[in-house]
Structures are given as structure tokens and as C-alpha cells.
Amino acid sequence: DIQMTQSPSTLSASVGDRVTITCRASQSIDIWLAWYQQKPGKAPNLLIYKASSLESGVPSRFSGSGSGTEFTLTISSLQPDDFATYYCQQYITYHTFGQGTKLEIK
Amino acid sequence: QLQLQESGPGLVKPSETLSLTCTVSGGSISSSSHYWGWIRQPPGKGLEWIGSTYYNGRTLYTSSLESRVAMSADTSKNQFSLKVNSVTAADTAVYYCARHLLLGDNPDYFDAWGQGMLVTVSS
């Protein structure tokens, strides 16, 4: 099974900051990676697919990059609505999620 | 607008079978472009894909649950279902149903989710 590891597990930042979350795969997944945002008590919401494609309706401050085994999600200028937990997911072989990164207000 | 809604018992006894249904509105589960999946999230923990089903009956399951899980699709009711047998407290979680795009041979990312339903396993 492909394992997905996110870092950091928790990230403290302020409104206006640029933040980056990393996701590493245990083997190459090419570009078959998605990113989701989840707020407490809500279902996850798709942000990015195919490593760098922005889902319709998602603000352009979100961007994704990477291929193979290392990927990043970047938020260029944090907004109050962005404080949430973020998950990566590989979908080259079945589906595996990372353990999540909680983005907190500093 | 596509909507997915989970339903079923919120409390299941240990060793019994957990059964959930996802009702889809605003779209058809007979779509050849989509798979339909289940994902769960234990309280305070991360997301775990359980499995997915296609309208023609094809199913895919995660290896860790494969021996206890069954999924099916009912195109006449526009619903798909999940059964997990021999449940224990470790199966307590919020269960989400979701839609995958199918762009190749296997399902891709999840582009629509239900609101989720907490299922507690307890006597």
C-alpha cells in the first residue's frame, strides 16, 4: 500500500502569511495527488487535483506543485477562512490520505 | 446541484453489521464518468478510504477492511450502500459518501461529498 506523510502536523500562522504544507508518498505517484480542506464538523472540500490543477471556485491564493514522491500545497496570503485542516490524497493506486495538517492562528 | 446524503443507524452493537445508504440527488449514479465511494473518519483522526462502487457492480475495497466490507449500487433508487460486518469500537467514525471522477481505468479524486454521519459502535 502507498503511504502518504504530511508535514508539519500542525502549523501556526497569521493572516497574510505565506504557508506551505508538504506531502510525501512512499513511492512515486506521478501527479495523481489531490488536496482537500476540512473545517470542524464539515466534509472535506476539494482544492487541488492532479497535483497542481485548481478546482473550480477555489481562490487563486491556493496552489499545488510537485510530482513523483514530493508535493506541496501553498497558500500565498492566509485569510481568516483558511484556518482548517488540510489533507493530501493519492489516487494512482486505490486511495490513501495523509494524516492531515492543522493550520492554526498564531 | 449534486447532493449526497448518508442514512442509517447511528448506533450499532459490537459484532453486528453496520449498514449505511447514500442517496444521490441532482445526478445519476448510472453515470459512466463516476464511481461512488465511502470514506470514514474516527473522532479526532484522519480520513480513511473504505471502498468504492460503480453502477455496473464493480467494487474496490481497501485491503485492511476487504474481508468485512461489501458495497453495492441500486440504480433504480439512485442509491449506493455500505455494509461492514463484525464491527468493534474501532469502527466508530463519521462515515462520508462521496463521488469520484472516472477519467481513466480507475477512479480519481473525490469531487463531491455528503455531510457525513456519525456511527457509534457500543453495547
Please give the C-alpha separations between residue B100 and each of A5, A47, B29, B38, in angstroms, as whole numbers: 22, 14, 11, 10
- Pairing state of beta strands B117-121 and B11-12? parallel
- Alpha-carbon distance of A67 to A32, in angstroms, equals 8
Residues B52 and B59 sit within 8 Å (Cβ to Cβ): yes
**What is the average per-residue pLDDT within B74-89?**
97
Distances in whole angstroms, Cα of residue A61 to Cα of each of A25, A44, A64, A93: 24, 18, 10, 29
Does the structure show a pLDDT above 90 at B97?
A: yes
User: What is the structure's pLDDT at B107?
Assistant: 86
* pLDDT > 90? residue B25: yes
Tell which of A10, A49, A95, A99 to mutate to test the B interface (max B CBs under 10 Å).
A95
For the cut 90, the answer to whether the pLDDT of residue A81 exceeds it is yes
Arithmetic mean of pLDDT, A44-70: 98
Segment B109-121 mean pLDDT:
98
Residues 6+ apart with CB under 8 A from A70: A22, A23, A24, A25
* pLDDT bucket at A77, cuts 50 / 70 / 90: very high
Interval A2-48: pLDDT, tens: 999 999 999 999 999 999 999 999 999 999 999 999 999 999 999 99
DSSP string covering B13-61: -TTS-EEEEEEEESS-TT-TTEEEEEEEE-TTS--EEEEEE-TTS-EEE
Q: How far apart are CA B78 and CA A101, in angstroms?
A: 35
Chain A: closest CA distance from residue B87 (Å): 22
Contacts of A66 (CB under 8 A, 6+ apart): A23, A31, A33, A51, A52, A72
Across B77-103, average pLDDT: 96
Is residue B103's pLDDT more than 90?
A: no
Name every residue whose Cβ is closer than 8 Å to that of residue B29 and which is 6 or more positions away in sequence: B36, B55, B73, B75, B78, B79, B80
Closest CA to A71 of A15, A40, A26: A26
Task: pLDDT band for B68, please (50, 70, 90 cuts).
Answer: very high
Confidence of residue B104 (pLDDT cuts 50, 70, 90): confident
Q: Of A42, A43, A99, which has the smallest distance from its Cβ to B46's Cβ?
A: A99
Interface of B with A (CB under 8 A): 37, 46-49, 52, 60, 62-63, 96, 98, 100, 106-111, 113-116
Nearest CA in chain B to A36: B110
Q: Please, which pLDDT band fits residue B99 given cuts at 50, 70 and 90? A: very high
Residue in B65, B109, B110 to test binding to A, most A beta-carbons within 10 Å: B109
Of A94, A91, A88, A34, the closest CA to residue B61 belongs to A94
